[in-house]
Amino acid sequence: MKIIMLGAPGAGKGTQAKMISEKYHIPHISTGDIFRANIKNGTELGTEAKKYMDQGLLVPDELTVRILLDRVSNEDCTEGYVLDGFPRTIPQAEVLDHALEELGDKIDYAINIDIADEVIVSRMSGRRACLTCGATYHTEYIIPVKEGICDKCGSELILRDDDKAETVLKRLQVYHTQTQPLIDFYENKKVLKSVDGTKKLEMVFEEICTLLD
């Protein structure tokens, strides 16, 4: 079962991907994680990717797909995997599709977590983070015992720049331009499954499991 997670930033793709990974015993693969692992381990692919990153350039799609295919060739991916953070654009999806086709493989499901922009802005601008221990909170959903203070270590909680409303709106603009077209791309391939991302986390997960089962 090869799965791609789609949805705007803040839609909860990463959380749902982890839950899918645990339930179905398939790896949750984040492109950011495999880039870091390859660079840390000094692999040939990691060294090649680092050349671009050190110059502030985007890693070419072909190289990203090579790193991804190297990861999914591992034994733990025999029963499938769930991709989080890739593809982000139509060209990336086409390169990935072509590479998988050459291996006699394909994506089985593209799960789109559908959620309105205003809900995402509200969710993300309510996030608060502890820079000391990494704990995260929310002004509505995960409220600390003492306002503005981390329950775990007592440090001050902050609103990260990435979560500020103006930053979120810019990220959503990029998403609608670059990534949303993937919904049509995978719908045309008859693998798209959409779920209502405005529901509670557990209900969204139930909906996903119903589609996968």
pLDDT tens readout for residues 147-180: 999 999 999 999 998 889 998 898 899 888 888 8
CA 193 to chain centre: 16
Return the active site residues. Answer: 13, 88, 127, 160, 171
CA angle 65, 69, 74 (to 5 degrees): 155
- The structure tokens 């959380």 sit at 15
Tally of domains in the chain? 1
Check: CB of residue 132 under 8 Å from CB of residue 153: yes
CATH number of 103's domain: 3.40.50.300
Residues near 162 by beta carbon (within 8 Å), at least 6 away in sequence: 168, 171
Indicate whether 121 belongs to any domain: no
User: Is 126 within the bounds of a domain?
Assistant: no
Does this model's pTM top 0.95? My answer is: no
Judge whether 99 lies within some domain: yes
The reply to whether 124 falls in a domain is no
- Cα distance between residue 32 and residue 53, in whole Å: 12
Alpha-carbon gap, residue 4 to 107, rounded angstroms: 7
Please give the C-alpha separations between residue 39 and each of 48, 115, 142, 150, in angstroms, as whole numbers.
9, 34, 35, 33
* Residue 78: other Cβ atoms inside 10 A: 10
Segments forming the whole domain that contains residue 13: 2-27+74-115+171-212
> Which stretches in the chain have pLDDT values below 50?
none
Tell me, yes or no, whether 129 lies in a domain: no
DSSP reduced 3-state for 28? strand
Q: Taking the chain, what is the end-to-end CA distance rounded to the nearest angstrom? A: 11
